[in-house]
Amino acid sequence: MIAFVSGGARSGKSAFAERLVRDYQRHRGGPRYYLATATPGDSEMAARIARHRAERGDGWRTLEAAALDLALAEVEPGSSLLLDCLTLWASRALFEFSLEESAALAQLERTLAKARAADIALVIVSNDINEGMPPQDDASWRYLALLQAGHCRVAAEADCVVQVVAGLPQVWKGSLP
Amino acid sequence: MQLVIGGACAGKRGLVQRWYPHARWHALEGAARHAILPASGETLVVSGWAGWIQAALASTPSDDEALRLALTERLDALLATEAERAAQVVLIVEEMGRGIVPMGAERRRLRDLNGWLAQDASARCERVWYVRHGLYRRLDTPDAQVGSCAARD
Protein backbone atom coordinates (compact mmCIF):
# COMPACT_ATOMS: atom_id res chain seq x y z
CA MET A 1 0.00 0.00 0.00
CA ILE A 2 1.38 3.38 -1.03
CA ALA A 3 -0.41 6.65 -0.26
CA PHE A 4 0.54 10.17 -1.33
CA VAL A 5 -0.63 13.08 0.81
CA SER A 6 0.04 16.68 -0.20
CA GLY A 7 -1.25 20.16 0.47
CA GLY A 8 -0.21 23.72 1.14
CA ALA A 9 1.76 24.99 4.12
CA ARG A 10 -0.05 24.33 7.43
CA SER A 11 -2.88 22.56 5.62
CA GLY A 12 -2.88 19.70 8.13
CA LYS A 13 -1.24 17.23 5.75
CA SER A 14 1.28 15.83 8.26
CA ALA A 15 -1.36 15.27 10.94
CA PHE A 16 -3.63 13.58 8.41
CA ALA A 17 -0.77 11.41 7.13
CA GLU A 18 0.10 10.36 10.69
CA ARG A 19 -3.49 9.28 11.26
CA LEU A 20 -3.38 7.35 8.00
CA VAL A 21 -0.23 5.48 9.07
CA ARG A 22 -1.84 4.65 12.43
CA ASP A 23 -4.89 3.31 10.57
CA TYR A 24 -2.74 1.15 8.31
CA GLN A 25 -0.80 -0.14 11.32
CA ARG A 26 -4.02 -0.96 13.15
CA HIS A 27 -5.21 -3.06 10.21
CA ARG A 28 -1.87 -4.66 9.39
CA GLY A 29 -0.05 -4.95 12.72
CA GLY A 30 3.73 -4.55 12.91
CA PRO A 31 5.67 -1.47 13.98
CA ARG A 32 5.27 2.03 12.57
CA TYR A 33 8.19 4.12 11.43
CA TYR A 34 8.82 7.78 10.77
CA LEU A 35 11.38 8.60 8.11
CA ALA A 36 12.56 12.16 8.61
CA THR A 37 14.01 14.07 5.68
CA ALA A 38 14.66 17.26 7.66
CA THR A 39 17.89 18.07 9.46
CA PRO A 40 18.08 20.77 12.15
CA GLY A 41 20.16 23.25 10.18
CA ASP A 42 19.14 26.21 12.34
CA SER A 43 17.20 26.88 15.54
CA GLU A 44 13.90 27.48 13.73
CA MET A 45 14.19 24.14 11.93
CA ALA A 46 15.22 22.40 15.16
CA ALA A 47 12.11 23.80 16.89
CA ARG A 48 9.95 22.76 13.93
CA ILE A 49 11.31 19.19 14.09
CA ALA A 50 10.78 19.07 17.86
CA ARG A 51 7.19 20.30 17.46
CA HIS A 52 6.42 17.63 14.86
CA ARG A 53 8.00 14.95 17.09
CA ALA A 54 5.91 16.04 20.09
CA GLU A 55 2.73 16.09 17.96
CA ARG A 56 3.39 12.57 16.68
CA GLY A 57 3.70 11.19 20.21
CA ASP A 58 5.25 7.89 21.21
CA GLY A 59 5.28 4.62 19.38
CA TRP A 60 7.24 5.68 16.30
CA ARG A 61 10.60 4.29 15.29
CA THR A 62 12.42 7.26 13.81
CA LEU A 63 14.79 6.89 10.87
CA GLU A 64 16.96 9.68 9.55
CA ALA A 65 18.63 9.22 6.20
CA ALA A 66 19.07 11.42 3.18
CA ALA A 67 18.94 8.39 0.86
CA LEU A 68 15.37 7.15 1.07
CA ASP A 69 16.04 3.72 -0.40
CA LEU A 70 18.81 3.01 2.12
CA ALA A 71 16.51 4.01 4.96
CA LEU A 72 13.87 1.58 3.75
CA ALA A 73 16.35 -1.26 4.09
CA GLU A 74 16.06 -0.78 7.87
CA VAL A 75 12.26 -1.15 7.89
CA GLU A 76 10.73 -4.49 8.83
CA PRO A 77 8.61 -6.05 6.08
CA GLY A 78 4.88 -5.66 6.64
CA SER A 79 5.23 -2.51 8.76
CA SER A 80 3.90 1.02 8.22
CA LEU A 81 6.07 4.01 7.36
CA LEU A 82 5.53 7.75 7.21
CA LEU A 83 7.91 9.66 4.92
CA ASP A 84 7.70 13.38 5.71
CA CYS A 85 8.44 15.10 3.42
CA LEU A 86 9.48 15.00 -0.25
CA THR A 87 10.05 18.76 -0.50
CA LEU A 88 12.98 18.62 1.91
CA TRP A 89 14.29 15.42 0.36
CA ALA A 90 14.31 17.08 -3.09
CA SER A 91 16.05 20.14 -1.71
CA ARG A 92 18.80 18.09 -0.07
CA ALA A 93 19.16 15.81 -3.10
CA LEU A 94 19.81 18.77 -5.41
CA PHE A 95 21.63 21.26 -3.23
CA GLU A 96 23.31 19.21 -0.48
CA PHE A 97 24.22 16.03 -2.34
CA SER A 98 24.37 17.60 -5.83
CA LEU A 99 22.39 14.78 -7.44
CA GLU A 100 21.20 15.09 -11.00
CA GLU A 101 17.43 14.95 -11.42
CA SER A 102 17.66 11.49 -12.99
CA ALA A 103 19.69 10.11 -10.05
CA ALA A 104 17.28 11.58 -7.51
CA LEU A 105 14.27 10.16 -9.33
CA ALA A 106 16.01 6.76 -9.58
CA GLN A 107 16.42 6.83 -5.80
CA LEU A 108 12.72 7.58 -5.40
CA GLU A 109 11.88 4.77 -7.82
CA ARG A 110 13.96 2.28 -5.78
CA THR A 111 12.16 3.46 -2.64
CA LEU A 112 8.75 2.78 -4.14
CA ALA A 113 9.91 -0.62 -5.40
CA LYS A 114 11.31 -1.58 -1.98
CA ALA A 115 8.07 -0.59 -0.28
CA ARG A 116 6.14 -2.81 -2.70
CA ALA A 117 8.56 -5.72 -2.38
CA ALA A 118 8.55 -5.63 1.46
CA ASP A 119 4.79 -5.02 1.71
CA ILE A 120 5.34 -1.76 3.60
CA ALA A 121 2.39 0.61 3.98
CA LEU A 122 4.21 3.74 2.84
CA VAL A 123 2.62 7.17 3.29
CA ILE A 124 4.53 9.96 1.52
CA VAL A 125 3.92 13.60 2.44
CA SER A 126 4.78 16.62 0.32
CA ASN A 127 4.03 20.29 -0.22
CA ASP A 128 2.14 21.67 -3.18
CA ILE A 129 4.35 24.46 -4.47
CA ASN A 130 3.68 24.62 -8.22
CA GLU A 131 0.55 26.75 -8.44
CA GLY A 132 2.07 30.13 -7.67
CA MET A 133 4.08 32.39 -9.97
CA PRO A 134 6.70 30.46 -11.96
CA PRO A 135 10.25 30.79 -10.57
CA GLN A 136 12.59 33.33 -12.14
CA ASP A 137 15.91 31.62 -11.47
CA ASP A 138 17.39 28.37 -12.76
CA ALA A 139 17.95 26.75 -9.36
CA SER A 140 14.32 27.19 -8.37
CA TRP A 141 13.18 25.82 -11.74
CA ARG A 142 15.41 22.75 -11.29
CA TYR A 143 13.97 22.22 -7.85
CA LEU A 144 10.39 22.64 -9.03
CA ALA A 145 10.95 20.31 -11.97
CA LEU A 146 12.46 17.58 -9.77
CA LEU A 147 9.79 17.85 -7.12
CA GLN A 148 6.96 17.81 -9.67
CA ALA A 149 8.47 14.86 -11.51
CA GLY A 150 8.62 13.10 -8.14
CA HIS A 151 5.04 14.05 -7.30
CA CYS A 152 3.77 12.78 -10.66
CA ARG A 153 5.69 9.52 -10.28
CA VAL A 154 4.50 8.93 -6.72
CA ALA A 155 0.89 9.82 -7.60
CA ALA A 156 0.99 7.40 -10.54
CA GLU A 157 2.32 4.58 -8.36
CA ALA A 158 0.20 5.30 -5.28
CA ASP A 159 -2.94 3.35 -4.46
CA CYS A 160 -4.35 6.43 -2.75
CA VAL A 161 -3.72 10.13 -3.47
CA VAL A 162 -5.06 12.77 -1.09
CA GLN A 163 -4.97 16.56 -1.17
CA VAL A 164 -5.41 18.12 2.27
CA VAL A 165 -7.19 21.49 2.33
CA ALA A 166 -7.77 23.23 5.67
CA GLY A 167 -7.33 19.89 7.42
CA LEU A 168 -9.89 18.13 5.21
CA PRO A 169 -8.79 15.25 2.96
CA GLN A 170 -9.82 15.43 -0.71
CA VAL A 171 -9.33 12.02 -2.33
CA TRP A 172 -7.98 12.15 -5.90
CA LYS A 173 -7.32 8.45 -6.35
CA GLY A 174 -8.25 5.25 -4.53
CA SER A 175 -9.98 5.29 -1.17
CA LEU A 176 -9.15 5.83 2.47
CA PRO A 177 -9.09 2.87 4.90
CA MET B 1 -13.32 24.09 -26.87
CA GLN B 2 -11.61 22.58 -23.83
CA LEU B 3 -9.45 24.10 -21.13
CA VAL B 4 -6.66 22.19 -19.39
CA ILE B 5 -5.34 24.09 -16.37
CA GLY B 6 -2.79 23.17 -13.72
CA GLY B 7 0.39 24.33 -12.01
CA ALA B 8 3.90 24.23 -13.45
CA CYS B 9 5.11 20.73 -14.40
CA ALA B 10 1.79 19.22 -13.30
CA GLY B 11 1.42 16.98 -16.36
CA LYS B 12 -0.87 19.11 -18.57
CA ARG B 13 1.03 18.61 -21.82
CA GLY B 14 1.40 14.88 -21.27
CA LEU B 15 -2.33 14.52 -20.79
CA VAL B 16 -3.17 16.47 -23.96
CA GLN B 17 -0.54 14.59 -25.98
CA ARG B 18 -2.05 11.30 -24.85
CA TRP B 19 -5.59 12.36 -25.65
CA TYR B 20 -4.77 14.05 -28.98
CA PRO B 21 -1.58 12.50 -30.38
CA HIS B 22 -2.13 14.01 -33.85
CA ALA B 23 -3.00 17.52 -32.74
CA ARG B 24 -1.21 20.60 -34.03
CA TRP B 25 0.46 22.52 -31.23
CA HIS B 26 0.92 26.24 -31.21
CA ALA B 27 2.71 28.16 -28.47
CA LEU B 28 1.76 31.82 -28.37
CA GLU B 29 4.80 34.08 -28.31
CA GLY B 30 4.76 37.70 -29.40
CA ALA B 31 1.84 39.88 -28.38
CA ALA B 32 1.61 41.47 -31.83
CA ARG B 33 1.17 38.23 -33.74
CA HIS B 34 -2.12 37.46 -35.40
CA ALA B 35 -4.46 35.03 -33.68
CA ILE B 36 -3.84 31.40 -34.55
CA LEU B 37 -6.96 29.54 -35.66
CA PRO B 38 -7.70 25.85 -36.32
CA ALA B 39 -7.90 24.51 -39.88
CA SER B 40 -10.89 22.52 -41.00
CA GLY B 41 -11.27 19.31 -39.03
CA GLU B 42 -8.02 19.63 -37.10
CA THR B 43 -7.32 19.55 -33.38
CA LEU B 44 -5.36 22.62 -32.33
CA VAL B 45 -3.63 22.91 -28.95
CA VAL B 46 -2.87 26.49 -27.91
CA SER B 47 -0.38 27.06 -25.08
CA GLY B 48 2.08 29.77 -24.07
CA TRP B 49 -0.55 32.25 -22.92
CA ALA B 50 1.67 33.58 -20.14
CA GLY B 51 4.34 34.37 -22.70
CA TRP B 52 1.80 36.26 -24.79
CA ILE B 53 0.69 38.22 -21.73
CA GLN B 54 4.27 39.05 -20.74
CA ALA B 55 5.05 40.37 -24.20
CA ALA B 56 1.81 42.34 -24.23
CA LEU B 57 2.55 43.86 -20.83
CA ALA B 58 5.76 45.30 -22.18
CA SER B 59 3.93 46.97 -25.07
CA THR B 60 0.80 48.04 -23.14
CA PRO B 61 2.16 49.66 -20.00
CA SER B 62 -0.94 50.14 -17.88
CA ASP B 63 -4.17 49.13 -19.60
CA ASP B 64 -5.04 45.71 -18.22
CA GLU B 65 -8.68 45.97 -19.31
CA ALA B 66 -7.53 46.37 -22.91
CA LEU B 67 -5.26 43.35 -22.58
CA ARG B 68 -8.04 41.27 -21.08
CA LEU B 69 -10.29 42.30 -23.96
CA ALA B 70 -7.59 41.33 -26.46
CA LEU B 71 -7.34 37.91 -24.83
CA THR B 72 -11.10 37.36 -24.83
CA GLU B 73 -11.24 38.36 -28.50
CA ARG B 74 -8.72 35.61 -29.22
CA LEU B 75 -10.77 33.13 -27.24
CA ASP B 76 -13.94 34.16 -29.07
CA ALA B 77 -12.21 33.81 -32.44
CA LEU B 78 -10.98 30.33 -31.53
CA LEU B 79 -14.43 29.30 -30.37
CA ALA B 80 -16.20 30.64 -33.46
CA THR B 81 -13.69 29.10 -35.85
CA GLU B 82 -13.82 25.76 -34.07
CA ALA B 83 -17.57 25.60 -34.77
CA GLU B 84 -17.32 26.89 -38.35
CA ARG B 85 -14.57 24.46 -39.33
CA ALA B 86 -15.66 21.40 -37.34
CA ALA B 87 -12.35 21.57 -35.48
CA GLN B 88 -11.33 20.98 -31.88
CA VAL B 89 -9.46 23.54 -29.77
CA VAL B 90 -7.65 22.68 -26.55
CA LEU B 91 -6.32 25.55 -24.43
CA ILE B 92 -3.49 24.91 -21.95
CA VAL B 93 -3.28 27.53 -19.21
CA GLU B 94 -0.93 27.54 -16.25
CA GLU B 95 -2.33 28.02 -12.75
CA MET B 96 -0.11 30.63 -11.09
CA GLY B 97 -2.43 32.45 -8.71
CA ARG B 98 -1.95 30.47 -5.52
CA GLY B 99 1.40 31.73 -4.26
CA ILE B 100 2.31 34.91 -2.44
CA VAL B 101 1.60 38.25 -4.12
CA PRO B 102 4.65 39.14 -6.23
CA MET B 103 6.69 42.19 -5.26
CA GLY B 104 7.03 43.53 -8.80
CA ALA B 105 4.13 45.32 -10.50
CA GLU B 106 4.64 43.54 -13.81
CA ARG B 107 4.48 40.09 -12.21
CA ARG B 108 1.36 41.11 -10.32
CA ARG B 109 -0.23 42.16 -13.60
CA LEU B 110 0.84 38.92 -15.26
CA ARG B 111 -0.73 36.96 -12.41
CA ASP B 112 -3.98 38.95 -12.62
CA LEU B 113 -4.28 38.70 -16.38
CA ASN B 114 -3.50 34.99 -16.33
CA GLY B 115 -6.23 34.46 -13.73
CA TRP B 116 -8.75 36.44 -15.78
CA LEU B 117 -7.73 34.45 -18.85
CA ALA B 118 -8.47 31.21 -17.00
CA GLN B 119 -11.91 32.48 -15.96
CA ASP B 120 -12.74 33.83 -19.41
CA ALA B 121 -11.56 30.63 -21.07
CA SER B 122 -13.47 28.45 -18.63
CA ALA B 123 -16.67 30.40 -19.32
CA ARG B 124 -16.32 29.61 -23.03
CA CYS B 125 -15.23 25.99 -22.79
CA GLU B 126 -17.40 22.92 -22.99
CA ARG B 127 -15.06 20.95 -20.75
CA VAL B 128 -12.54 22.13 -18.14
CA TRP B 129 -9.83 19.84 -16.77
CA TYR B 130 -7.66 20.49 -13.72
CA VAL B 131 -4.31 18.65 -13.69
CA ARG B 132 -2.48 18.05 -10.43
CA HIS B 133 0.57 15.83 -9.92
CA GLY B 134 -0.14 13.82 -13.05
CA LEU B 135 -3.80 13.23 -12.19
CA TYR B 136 -6.73 15.05 -13.73
CA ARG B 137 -10.22 15.99 -12.64
CA ARG B 138 -13.07 17.53 -14.63
CA LEU B 139 -14.22 20.75 -12.99
CA ASP B 140 -17.24 21.84 -14.99
CA THR B 141 -19.60 19.10 -13.89
CA PRO B 142 -20.75 17.92 -10.48
CA ASP B 143 -20.00 14.36 -11.57
CA ALA B 144 -16.26 14.81 -11.34
CA GLN B 145 -14.37 12.62 -13.77
CA VAL B 146 -10.93 11.77 -12.46
CA GLY B 147 -8.01 9.84 -13.90
CA SER B 148 -4.29 9.57 -14.42
CA CYS B 149 -2.49 11.52 -17.14
CA ALA B 150 -0.27 8.48 -17.70
CA ALA B 151 -2.90 5.73 -17.70
CA ARG B 152 -4.44 4.25 -20.80
CA ASP B 153 -8.13 4.83 -21.39
Residue B47 vs residues B13, B29, B51: alpha-carbon distances, Å: 9, 9, 9
Residue A98 vs residues A94, A107, A139, A173, B23: alpha-carbon distances, Å: 5, 13, 12, 33, 38
Q: What is the pLDDT of residues B139-150, one digit of tens each?
A: 987 776 788 887
Q: Closest residue of B to A151, CA-based?
A: B133
Q: Is residue B77 part of a domain?
A: yes
Chain B residues within 8 A (CB-CB) of chain A? Answer: 6-11, 50, 94-100, 102, 107, 110-111, 132-135, 137, 146, 148-151
Q: How far apart are the first and last CA of chain B?
A: 21
Q: Is residue B153 part of a domain?
A: no
Q: If you average pLDDT over residues B1-23, what whole number do you get?
A: 97
Q: Is residue B91 part of a domain?
A: yes
Q: If you average pLDDT over residues A91-112, what whole number do you get?
A: 96
Q: What is the pLDDT of residues B44-65, one digit of tens each?
A: 999 999 999 998 888 877 789 9
Q: Is 80 exceeded by the pLDDT of residue A40?
A: no
Give the model's pLDDT for residue A54.
79
Q: Is residue B73 part of a domain?
A: yes
Beta-carbon contacts of B17 under 8 Å, excluding residues fewer than 6 positions away, are B23
Instruction: Give the 3-state secondary structure of residue B104.
Output: coil
Q: What is the DSSP letter of B96?
A: -
Q: Is residue B8 part of a domain?
A: no
Parallel, antiparallel or unpaired: strands B135-138 and B146-148: antiparallel
Catalytic positions of A: 52
Number of domains composing chain B: 1
Kindly indicate the confidence band of residue A46, based on its pLDDT and cuts at 50, 70 and 90.
confident
Q: Is residue B47 part of a domain?
A: yes
DSSP H or E stretch at residue B112: helix B105-124
User: For residues A71 and B42, what is the distance between their CA atoms, to the nearest angstrom?
Assistant: 51
CATH of the domain at B56: 3.40.50.300
Please, what is the average pLDDT of chain A?
A: 92
Strands (E), chain A: 2-7, 32-36, 60-64, 80-84, 121-127, 160-165, 168-173
Q: Is residue B12 part of a domain?
A: no
Q: Is residue B30 part of a domain?
A: yes
Instruction: Give the 3-state secondary structure of residue A140.
Output: helix
Q: Residue B96 and residue A133: Cβ atoms within 8 Å?
A: yes
Kindly indicate the confidence band of residue A45, based on its pLDDT and cuts at 50, 70 and 90.
confident
Domain range enclosing B144: 20-148
Q: Which domains does chain A have, with CATH numbers?
A: 2-173 (3.40.50.300)
User: For residues A171 and A162, what is the distance between their CA atoms, to the nearest angstrom?
Assistant: 5
Q: What is the pLDDT of residues B64-123, one digit of tens each?
A: 999 999 999 999 999 999 999 999 999 999 999 998 888 898 999 999 999 999 999 999
User: For residues A149 and A130, what is the distance between their CA atoms, to the nearest angstrom?
Assistant: 11
Give the model's pLDDT for residue A174.
95
Of the candidates A52, A27, A75, the residue with the CA atom closest to the CA atom of residue A176: A27
